Each structure stands twice: as structure tokens, then as C-alpha cells.
Structure 1
Amino acid sequence: MIKALAIVPYEGLFEMMKEIAQEVEDIHLQIKLGNLYEGVAIAKNAEKDGYHVIISRGGTASMIQEAVSIPVIDINVSGYDVLRILTLVKGFSTKAAIVGFSNITQGAATICKLLDFDVKTLTITKDIEVEEKLTNLKKRGYEVVIGDVVTVQAAKQLGMTGVLITSGKEAILEALEEARRSYRLFSRLQQDVSLFQSILDCQEQAIAVIDKQEKIIYENKCFNREFHWMEVENSADVRKLIQETALTREKQTKTLHINHSFWKITTCPNEEGIVLFFEKNDLNQVIVQSGDRNTNAIEFQSSVSYTHISGKSDQIQKVLKQIDQYGKNEEPVWICGEEGNGKDLAAHSIYLKRKTRNEPFIIVHCDLLREEQLKDLMNEAFFQKYANGVMYLKNIDKLNSYLQKELYHILNIGNDKKMQWLVSSEDTIEEKVKNGKFHRDLYHTLAQLNIHIPPLRERKNDIEDLVHVFISDLHPKYGNGVVGIRQDALEELTNYDWPGNIDQLKQVIEQLFLQSHSYYIEKEEVKTVFKRLEQQEKKNDAVTPIDISGTLDEIEKQVITKVLEEVGLNQSKAAKRLGINRSTLWRKLKD
């Protein structure tokens, strides 16, 4: 029996390989999600665990080949894979290009010529070429980029729409056949895990060892569980601590904020490099826990991915211009709009335009913040400590009068460093200020620059672009065959008022994407989803009994459907309510 591990970069490929694994008898196939450096870390552990062969894709497969000594099989991109994505992108109204290595672009260029698709193809030889290629494309008016995971991620960082070329079943079957051939040729057993590695893996501390080039050469299970190396390496404070240790050759201890938690880090130099020990600090319990709710009131984001704000309406173009303009200075920006209308996305965009080095993006969830928490933050000099960051006060209109007053006091504390403030609220904030329900001075201090995001019902010509963006984002996540939407189905979506705005549209598209049985979302499928929404509104909070006369599968379907209706078709909330993950929910809906 061949013991194989598939390391895949997106959820859709994960699900497809799980289905194929059930049909294969001579290969014991395990599948894990991981991309690039994360995939390398998983592969190293797999080699230690005695796997005979690793199956991966694209740049991740290439990196794994350099990191392990066991055979690594690349899932090649087939012509069918390229054709499917080109069909999907045909629905976009903007200029598109394919950027990738020759194994993608050669076949793609031929297919584009055969089918008369106006899609430019650019070939790269190294992943470091991607950013330059995409920057030039953006200057020439290209907004949609098709490629592998590296290309798609780089496109999104530049504010472009990235569309991932996903792998089909036939490419996976070919990779499994290649795994069989490689196993017969290179079959070998892994060396036993050494005693010191077993001891380290039993430690509750997260432990990592880096060499003199600051590359990780060992990580224990706790480290791998808590965070992978790329997240730690992105921290300027960690790099500084490592450099100080290397320079002084003395043991160092410091408390830093990494991966949404505070860690006490001890560095010990040796001849080969530096050993790092990570222990969670009790400060986490003081600062970030939100009372009785299992949610963080303070959220740190050290690396925010750029998500393109889509739309061709005059209203959204005005918002984009304001974001670009306000991203060039440090004045407070107040973003208002209805719930679900992209206020967080606007705040993220401004942060990324202002970011020059490693300033953290700190989100204060004002609807979760409690008086005692704010006092703890002030006692810890939290706002002074992170004064070089960007502070986003999300839903500031949810603060009570005491917290509003205390926040105004914080804003007026003298400090050499100037905190950058971003704020979001509902449209009714000016009325609250006028009626004395919101602190007038606090509002005028933070509302020096204003952005109003209009509701989706007032800019319906943005819906088409948003639908295609959502479909392209869902494709690599779930891996089914949906590549577009029928025009009459799109008209049904456009005629709806969308009280939940963009968030609701995204949830509905995800529901349609999962339930569609063809390559295109049909009008009747849209009408069915809208009918459920209408029934949900009529039911309000009325209790509808579950019919238990059917089979277990039928009863389960009723429960899932009812929960989905209650949470407004939100897949994440439904999965959480049901105590299952999103992938399991997707499979149950698909059956």
C-alpha cells in the first residue's frame, strides 16, 4: 500500500481529492490544505511520518521538491482546466490576462486563438517576476488576472481581480498514476524520528530553530499548530529580536504580539543558529477576551490582503477616488453606510495605501468592547504602545456614552507619535449626534474626512461585476463546475432590493454556487433562493416543526435548510450553529 500525502492550495481541490481517494484501493491517500511555505512545512512533517510520496501543485510542488528527499508529484494543469476558467472569465466586462509558467501559458494561448478569446498571455520563469508583470498590466488597464495561486495572490495585493486556474479530475488521476510509477522507482522508508524531536514535540512551548541565514530548520508540533514560520517572519519585532541575539550572542527575552496573541519569546544562540521558545503571555486574557462572548474585542492584522472593490457605478467610483486620496495622508477617516455594505473593505484599503513598513492594522470591535476592557487597555498603555499603527474603530456608534467619553479622552492624550484612526458607523450617525445620542466632540474629531458608501439598491449596475467576482472567488474554494450565470438569472438578482447589501448578495451567490447542478446559475435557482428569503421574512421567529417521518438523511436536510434560513443563508454561521465545518456542510448540501 502506497502511503501518499496530497498538499493542495485551495479547498475545492481538497474536496475533489477526497472524493477520488475513496475510489482508489492501492494508495492510502491523505489530503491537507497548504500553499507555498505552509505546504513545505507540512511536507517536512510528512517525510518524518513515513510517507512514501507527496502530491502537490505548481509553485508549492516545486518548493517541496527542494525541501524533502521523497518523490514529489506535480498535478499538471490540463487544457480542460484552462478552457473551463477561460469560459468563466468570458463573463467579465474588463480586460483579462493569463500570467504563469509555460506549462499554463502555452496551452492557454493556443486555446484563446482557437476560440477567439481576447485574453493576453504572459509567460514567467520565476515567481519573482509576477509583481512586475502584473504592475505593467495594471498600468495598461487590465483588471482581471488568471493564473496559479502565486499569481492570484499577487493580483489581489495590487487591487486586481485574481482568478485561479483550478485542476480537474483527469489531472488528479494522472498525478496518481505518476505517484504509482514514482513509488515503484523510488520507494524508500523514512528514518525513525529521533528521540530529541519526540521530546520537543511533547513540549507545550512552541519551539523553532533558525540557521544563520534566518531560515527555519526545525519546528515542533506546538509551533506548527500555533503559527507557521511565514507569519512570524513577517514581524519586524521578531526579526529585530533575532538580529540582536545574533549580534550580541546572548540570550534575549521579550514579549511581542504575533498572530493575534501576545507571546513571551526567548532566544538562545548556538553555533548553528538561534533557538526560539514561545510561551503565550497572560496579557491575552487581560486585553482581548470579550467578556462572556468567545470573540476578540481587539483584533490584530499584521498582513491584510488587498481585496478589490468592484463596481462601475459613479457612486462606487467616487468612493474609490476618496480611498485613494485619503490613503495619502494620516487624518482620521469616518466611513458610514448601511450594514453589509463594504465599510471594512474600505478601511482595509486605506490601511494598505498608508502602510509603509510593518504598522499593524488594529481593529477595535466597538459592539464587543466593555468598560472594564477599555480600562485594562489604558492601564497597559495600549494606545501609546501601538501609536505607530492604524486603529480601526468598527461600529463606533455601538459604544455607550461612558465609552464615548473615555475614547475622546484617549484621543486628546499628548503623544509624540500620532495614531492613525479609521472609523465606521451606520448612516444614522449625524442624527445621533444632533439628538445628543453620540458624543459631538468625538464625532468632529474623528470625522475630519468622510466616506459614504451608498446601499447596493442605489447602484444596481454594480451587481453584475460583483456576481462574477464572487463566482471566481468561490471556484477555487469549492471546486465545482459553475463558471457563470445566465442573463435572465442576473436580471432577477438585479431587480432585488438587497436589504443586506453586498454581504447578502455574496451569501446568496455562495448558496446558488453550491446548489447549482450545471455550469451556469439558472433563473429558477435564483427564484428558489428568493422564495426561501421571502418565507424566512414571513416566518419571523415562528417555530416550524421538523417532520420526523422521513429518513435520517431527509430529517438532516430539513434541519440544515431551517438553520440556513434562520441565519440568512450565511454558510459560515450555519456551519457553526450545526457544529460542523464548511466543507462538511457543502457536501451535505451537494448530496
Structure 2
Amino acid sequence: MIKALVIVPYEGLYEMMKEIQQEVKDFQLDIEIGNLYEGVAVAKEAENNGYHVIISRGGTASLIQEAVSIPVIDIQVTGYDVLRIITLVKGFSRKSAIVGFSNITQGAATICKILDLDIKTLTISKDTEVKEILTNLKKHGYEVIIGDVVTVQTAKQLGLTGVLITSGKEAIMDALEEAKRSYRIFSQLQQDVSLFQSILDCNEQPIGVFNIEEKLVYRNERFNQEFHWMIVENSNDIKKLIQETALTKEKQTRTIHINQSFWNITACPQDGAIALFFEKNLSNQSAVQDGEREAKNAIEFRTSASYVSVSGKSEPIQKVLKQIEQYSVNDKAVWIYGEKGNGKELAAHAIYAKRNNLYDPFIVLHGELLRTGRLKDFIVEDFFQKYANGVIYLKNIDHLSADIQKELFDIIKNDKSAKIKWLVSSESNLEEKVKSGTFDRELYQTLGQQKIYLPPLRERREDIEDLVHVFISELHPKYGNGVVGTRPDALAELADYDWPGNVEQLKQVIEQLFKQTSSYYIEKEAVAAVLARLEQPEKKDDALTPIDLNGTLEEIEKQVITKVLEEEGLNQSKAAKRLGINRSTLWRKLK
């Protein structure tokens, strides 16, 4: 029996592997989600746990091959995989290009020629070439980039639309056959690595070990409970601490803000590595100890990976894109306003991405959760000075009380060096509130010199087609089904709807349609049914679907999830949060 671990870089491939897991023989097949260096960390643990072979894909497989001694099998991209994605991209109205290693581009170029498609194809030999190539493509008007996970992630960082070439069942079965052949040749196991085990045995506090390239190569269980590895690895403060420790070869301690808390971090040089030991700084935790749950969530450190670009070809959205370009050349405050769900945070992040190094923090302050005195606490903690290289995005500034408005203006007025970079948003232009005295005039005049208005989706219906294709391309890595587009009459239904919840509501509807569609195209009837449910009057209390307690546990659970979805207006993010599960688990339980 071959003990194999499959490390997949996206959730859709995870679902497909689970189906195949029930069919294969001669394998003990385990599946984990991990992309690039996260996948490498999972692979190293797997090697120590006695796995005979690792199966992965693309750039993740290449990195794992360099990090472990057991056989690593790459799930190759087939011509069928390329053809399916090219069929999807035909629906985009923007210039497209395929960028990847030769195993992707050779077959893709041939298919594009056969189908007479004007899609540029570029081959890379190493992942470090991707950013330069995509930057050049962007300068020449390319907006849609097709490729593997590395290519798609870089595309998003540059504000381009990235479309992932997902793997089909045929490629996975070929990889399993290759795993059998490799196992017959490479049957030895790598010796246990004692360094990480000894660290675990000696200390229960969060521990992370970095190599001299500042990459996280090990983290213990407590570390995983406290942090997401990417946040720690991308922290500039952590990088500086590692560099100084490697240079001096001496143990040292720093206080660093991570994950909304301050930590005393002790760095200890090891042979070829730096071990970091984390201990919470309890003397400086007012941000998370004021007794209310809202206070914990008033501030967030965001990463660039979770954002898509502002998209559309309409005249109003093109005006927005020009303003983003115009306001990105300076560090002055920008005020973004428009209806709820219309992508104000995406516009803020686009400005941040153009102004800043993506390693600099993008810090979100939620105006509706800030309490009187909280901004003064930030001053005491030197919070704004500490993160002056980043951007402070004050979301929903129109929700601030009069006292906090005054505190905020005092902070801006006393920032003589103008180091703090402010982006703010509101659901409407606040001129009427200023005239009535319910919003501070000086604060409005200070932060509102550069303003961007995001029009509602009903005023730019021609953008809906492009947005639908963007959302479908985003859902492929997550769910992995075969949907490549919408029927013209289905798209017409979507374009005719008024979308009171704007872009966010459209995104939720497309996700719902994507998951329930078993064919390649979303049909008009499915769209009409979902939109009809949205038009139904909001149900209250007993009018909601009742729960029948006579069913099995699984049936009752499904009823509970369905009822919560109804109460949350089919918003899966809100429903999952209420149920205490992630969206992927929610989707699997509804299947």
C-alpha cells in the first residue's frame, strides 16, 4: 500500500481529489490544501510522518521537489484543461495572454492557433520571471492573464484579472500512475528531522523557524493557532529581526504588532536558521481587552491576496479607474463614497497597491465599531507612527460619533510630518451632514480634497458581463466545477436586474448559480429562479422555513444551515460566520 499525500493549491482540486480518493486502489491517499511555501511546509511534515510519495501541481510541486527527498509527482496540465479555460476566457471583452512554464504554453499555443484565437502566449523558465512579464503585458493593455497559481497570484497583485488553469480528472489519474512507478524506484524514507521535534518538546509557546532566505520552514501547533503563516512571513518587522539576528549571530528580543496584538519575540540563531519564540505583551493589549467583542474587530490587518481588481468597461467605471491612477501619484487622503456593496474597499486597495510596496500594511479601521477614546489609545501605543509606511483605511467614516470625529481631526492636525496616509469611505456624500452640523466640517474638508464616486451597478449595466466572467474565474479554483460562462439570455436576465446590493450582491448570486450548475453554462431558468427568490418579501420569525426534528442528524443540520441562509438573505459569508464554519464547509454540507 502506497502512503501518498496530495497537496493541492486550490479548493476545487481538493474536491475532485476527494471523489477520486474513493475509486483508487493500492493507495492510502490523504489530501491537504497548500499553495507554494505553505505547501512546502505541509510536505516537510508529511515526509517526517512516513509518507512514501507526494503529489502536487505546478509551482507548488516544483518548490516541494527542492525541499524534500521523497518522490514528488507533478499533476500535469492537459490539452483538455487548457481548452476548457480558453473557452471561458472567450467571453472576456479584454486583451488576454497565457503565461506559464512550457508544460502549459506549448499545448495552449497550439489550441489558440487551431481555434484562431488572438491570445498571446509567453513561456517562462522560472517563477521569478512572472512579475516582469506581467508588468510589461499590463503596459501594453493586457488585462486578463491565464496560467498556474503563481501566475494568477502575481496578476492579482498587479491589478490584473488572473484566470487559473484547473486540472481535470484525466491529469490526476495520470499522476497517480506516475506515483506508482516512482514508488517502485524510490521506496526509501527520509530520516526524521530532530531539530523541529526538539523545539516542540522544549517549549509550548508559539514557535516559528525561518531559513536564511527569511522563509518560514517550520511552525508548531500553537503558532498555527495564533497566526496565519503568510502574515508572519510577510511582516517587514519580522524580516528585519531575522536579518539582524543572522548578521549579529546573537539572541535578541523585539516587540512587534501581529494579528491585532503586540508580541515580545525572541530570535535565536541556529545552524542555518533563526528560531522565533513568541510571547504576548500583556501590558499593551488595550486593543483587545476593552471588554467588548466589537473592539477586537475595529482594526484589521489585510493582505493583498484577498482582493480582485476594480473591473468594468463603462464610462463611469473608467472615470473611477482614471481617478485611482491620478490620486495614486501622491499620498494625500482620498474619500471614496457610494452605495453599500459597490466595491469601495476594492478602490481603496487599488490606490494602496499602486502607492505602496505590497509588504507594507493595509490597515482597516471600521468606523461603526470604533469607540470614544480608542484613537487616543492608538496614539499612546505609537500605533500610527509604527505603521506610517502603510495605509490606514477608515471604512464607514459616516458612522463615527461626534467625539471620535473630533479625536480623528486632532490626530490629523497634529501629524505635522503628514506621514499617516489616509483613505476613507462612506455610503454617501456628506455635504448635507456637514451643512446640518452632524459631521465635522474641518474633518470633511481635510480628508475630502480628493474624492471618488462609485456609481451603483444599475447605472453601469454594461459592466455586468465583464464582472460575471471575473467572478466565474475566481470561483474555479475554489469549487472546481466545469462552468465556463453564461447563456446570452441568462446574461440578459442578470443585466436587467436592478441589484440593490450592487456588485457584492451580484457576486453572491453568481456564486450561488456556479455551485448549483452541473453543465458548462449557467442557464436563464436558473438565473430567473434565484432572482425571483431575491424579490420575495423578507420573511420574519415563523414565516421562515420550519425545522423538522424527525429527520436524521445530517438532515436536521442541513435544515438549520438552509434556515440561517434564508435569514441572511442567501449571504453565505454571513451565514457561515453565524454557524461558526468556513464557506467551504458550508458548501460541502449543502451538497
| Fold match (TM-score > 0.5) | yes
| Cα contact 2:261–2:287 (8 A) shared by 1 | no
String of CA shifts for 1:203-224, please: whole Å, max 9, x gaps.
3323234455555565434345
1:51 is aligned to 2:51: yes
Aligned CA distance change for structure 1 residues 346 and 288 (closer, same or farther; 3 Å): farther
Q: Structure 1 residues 373-382 or 85-94, which shifts more?
A: 373-382
1:179 equivalent in structure 2: 179
Show the counterpart of 2:355.
Answer: 354
Per the alignment, residue 427 of structure 1 pairs with 428
Contact 2:342 2:504 (C-alpha < 8 Å) held by counterparts: yes
The match for 1:168 is 168
User: What are structure 2's unaligned runs of at least 5 residues?
Assistant: none
| Structure 1 residue 66 displacement after superposition | 1.0
Q: 1:545, CA displacement in angstroms?
A: 4.6
| Amino acid corresponding to residue 329 of structure 1 in structure 2 | N
Give the superposition deviation at 1:376: 2.5
421-430 vs 321-330, which deviates more? Answer: 421-430
Aligned CA distance change for structure 1 residues 202 and 575 (closer, same or farther; 3 Å): farther
Q: Return the letter of the residue paired with 1:128.
A: T
**1:211-290 paired onto structure 2 within 5 Å:** 211-212=211-212, 214=214, 218-224=218-224, 226-227=226-227, 231-270=231-270, 272-282=272-282, 285-288=285-288
In the other structure, the counterpart of 1:121 is 121
Q: 1:364 to 1:549 in 2, by over 3 A?
A: closer
- Aligned residue for 2:93? 93
1:259-408 correspondence to structure 2 within 5 Å: 259-270=259-270, 272-282=272-282, 285-288=285-288, 291-293=291-293, 295-301=296-302, 303=304, 307-356=308-357, 358-408=359-409
Q: 1:569 to 1:461 in 2, by over 3 A?
A: same
CA contact (8 A) 1:290 1:297 kept: no
What is the distance in 1 between the residues matched to 2:211 and 2:555?
57
Structure 1 stretch 162-171 or stretch 398-407: which is displaced more? 398-407
Structure 1 residue 583: deviation in Å? 2.2
Please list the CA deviations of residues 35-65 of structure 1 after superposition, one character each: whole Å capped at 9, or x if unmatched.
Answer: 1111111101111111111110011101111
Alignment partner, residue 502 of structure 1: 503
Query: SS of the counterpart of 1:255?
Result: strand
Helix, strand or coil for the counterpart of 2:575?
helix
Secondary structure of 1:264's partner?
strand
Q: Distance in 1 between matches of 2:96 and 2:216?
A: 38
Residues 453-481 of structure 1, C-alpha deviation per residue, up to 9 Å, x if partnerless? 01111111111100010001001110011
Q: CA deviation at 1:322?
A: 0.5
CA distance in 2, matches of 1:316, 1:586: 32
The amino acid that maps onto 1:151 is: T
Name the SS of the counterpart of 1:539 in structure 2: coil
Please say which of residues 120-129 and 392-401 is displaced more in the overlay: 120-129
Query: Is the 2:208–2:219 Cα contact (8 Å) retained in structure 1?
Result: yes
Residues 15, 208 of structure 1: alpha-carbon distance in 2 compared, 3 angstrom cutoff:
same
- Counterpart of 2:143 in 1: which secondary structure? strand
Q: How far apart are residue 199 of structure 1 and its match?
A: 5.2
State the 1:304 CA deviation.
Answer: 5.8
How far did 1:293 drift?
2.5
Aligned-partner residue type, residue 434 of structure 1: K
What residue identity is the alignment partner of 1:153?
Q
Rate the CA distance shift 1:470–1:195 in 2: closer, same or farther, 3 A: closer
Partners of 1:290 and 1:456 in 2: how far apart? 39
Distance 1:94 1:358, change over 3 A: closer
| 3-state DSSP of counterpart to 2:543 | coil
Q: 1:75 to 1:513 in 2, by over 3 A?
A: same
Deviation readout 1:379-426 (Å, 9 max, x if unpaired): 323223333331111101111111111111212124435211111001
Aligned-pair identity in percent equals 71
2: distance between equivalents of 1:196 and 1:242? 18
232-241 or 504-513: which moved more? 232-241
- Output the amino acid matched with 2:96: A
Counterpart-to-counterpart distance in 1, 2:389 and 2:12: 39
2:504 maps to amino acid:
D
TM-score (norm 2): 0.93
What residue number does 1:14 align with?
A: 14
Partner of 1:163, secondary structure, is strand
2:576 maps to 575
Shift of the 239–545 alpha-carbon distance from structure 1 to 2, 3 Å rule, reads closer
Contact between 1:288 and 1:298, CA under 8 Å: does it hold in 2? no
**In 2 relative to 1, CA 302–476 (structure 1 residues): closer, same or farther, beyond 3 Å?**
closer
| 1:318 CA displacement | 0.5
Q: Which residue of 1 aligns with 2:483?
A: 482
Structure 2: distance between partners of 1:393 and 1:579: 27
- Alignment coverage as a number of residue pairs: 589
Superposed, 1:408-447 pairs within 5 Å as 408-447=409-448
Distance in 1 of aligned mates of 2:476 and 2:193: 39
TM-score for the superposition, normalised by structure 1: 0.93
Counterpart residue identity of residue 245, structure 2: T
Give 2:347's aligned amino acid: A
The SS at the match of 1:335 is strand
SS of residue matched to 2:204: coil
Once the two structures are superposed, the pairs formed by residues 542-581 of structure 1 within 5 Å of their partners are 543-546=543-546, 548=548, 551-552=551-552, 556-581=557-582
Once residues 160 and 11 of structure 2 are traced to their aligned partners in structure 1, the CA distance between those partners, rounded to angstroms, is 22
Deviation at 1:196, TM superposition (A): 6.8
SS in 2 for 1:88: helix
